[in-house]
Structure 1
Amino acid sequence: MPYLSLTLLISAALFSGLTVLFILLTIRSRREHKNTIFPVVREMEGVKAKRFAVVSGVFLVLSALSIGGWIATQQDPKNVLIAREATQQAAARQTRAITTPSAFTPTPVSLSQQVISESLVVQGQAAPTAAPKISTSAPTAANAPVAAPSPAPTKKPSPVPAPDGVSMGPIIFSASVNGKREAENPADVFDAKTKKVYATFPYKGMKNGVPFSVVWYYQNSKIIRDDFEWDWGSRGQSYFFVRLRKAGVYKVEFRINDKIIAEGSFKVTP
């Protein structure tokens, strides 16, 4: 019993620690999902947050079971034995009380009372129910069906126009960014070992809800297009990135209502 109690206590501590760890990972992934501007990263962080939440829930259940088992092992065996004996004695007394015959004296009932009771029962069973009345009148105009008015066609909301004085760029390319979403070691030429390239840029004068597009080209051929509504405020610093395929020239365009407002290019050497 002491060995089992110690094992359950260690398991409860371990599962509790794992629960806290995965809760923190869930909170971090949800924060990244909310703050990132790139849709691909946002989707990945959302999936990770859901998985971390499920794992933390599993560890929370295991921790609760371990704690419950540990508490159960802390009960005094003597108290358990005494409670069990008391339950058995109470059950035995109840059985004895049920099997003891008791004197029963039938209450005399007169013949007239029996006749009256039987008469009431027969009358209650034979009482006919009133048949429902059936209306034979023709339907009035109030009951006649009325054609429902057809709904008016709804107009599709027009896209939010680009705000006046919007500014975005210049676009600066780099293989990494810092905590302020600024380029580290900016360059226009990268070697083939580079896995992805970030396009960092400042912006101001923007407006939430504006139709925004990011279009990537490789060797003048479109490879990626991402359309969404802008949701990151009027001004700030942000970035997009692209995973490199092979050597060549890459180009990116930022568009509002499909109108180019900023563009830039870089080269990857073999």
Structure 2
Amino acid sequence: MSSTEQYLIQERPYYRATADEVELFEAAYAARMPVMLKGPTGCGKTRFVEYMAWKLKRPLITVACNEDMTASDLVGRFLLDASGTRWQDGPLTLAARIGAICYLDEVVEARQDTTVVIHPLTDHRRTLPLDKKGELVHAHPDFQLVISYNPGYQNLLKDLKQSTKQRFGALDFGYPETAVEVDVVSHETGIDPKIAEKLVQIAHRARNLKGHGLDEGISTRLLVYAGHLIAKGIEPRAACMMTLVRPLTDDPDMRDTLDAAVATFF
């Protein structure tokens, strides 16, 4: 299997558009514009990128960013083996070479000195200098860079520089409207839509508590987790406790509040 083929998404990911994000992304890709996806955790940003990669028939290379990630983790490094030293491309370099969509998930988690390496790929140059190797990689014509982050977590220490932000077009993501979210949860888990609607209503109550004891509301991803447990025969209240309450908070009073919301529907 070639490098390109192994990164192709073979089956259509299930994604429900909430506005004109699909058309906007298609236009951005046609212009090879770098795109930034902004929205809360678990709201569908990654699924959207997977769907668009499938729709555009482009390979997708995803990098989960973290605070320990170095520039070498992105671009590549020399490795020692039995034959001596050899160069191994990092995911960003590989994507640039083969014309993949490179998706840097939660890019704000990476150190700012690491994210600077993407700058030459996000303007008219579309190049990636491999300083250690003495090579200048010219991005494949089909290459596109996509990043995501959660604006709710940004602060003075964790935010993108303006010099980085202004290299991207941006799409805002939020949790879907009720009918769409119910459909997503029901489709992903196989549970009855009426049960899915109860889960979504619990999520709405929790999201109203963001900034009032909760750092983040219940995500669509967590609703899907709850639905999977219910589909496996777990009692709904126990499923909700495991997936919708315990992951969000350790505060006893907040847990009681969330438990009460669950008890209202189950």
Structure with the bigger percentage of helix: 2
What TM-score does the superposition give when structure 2 sets the normalisation length?
0.23
What TM-score does the superposition give when structure 1 sets the normalisation length?
0.23
Q: Which has the higher contact order (CA 8 A, sep 6+)?
A: 2
Structure with the bigger percentage of strand: 1
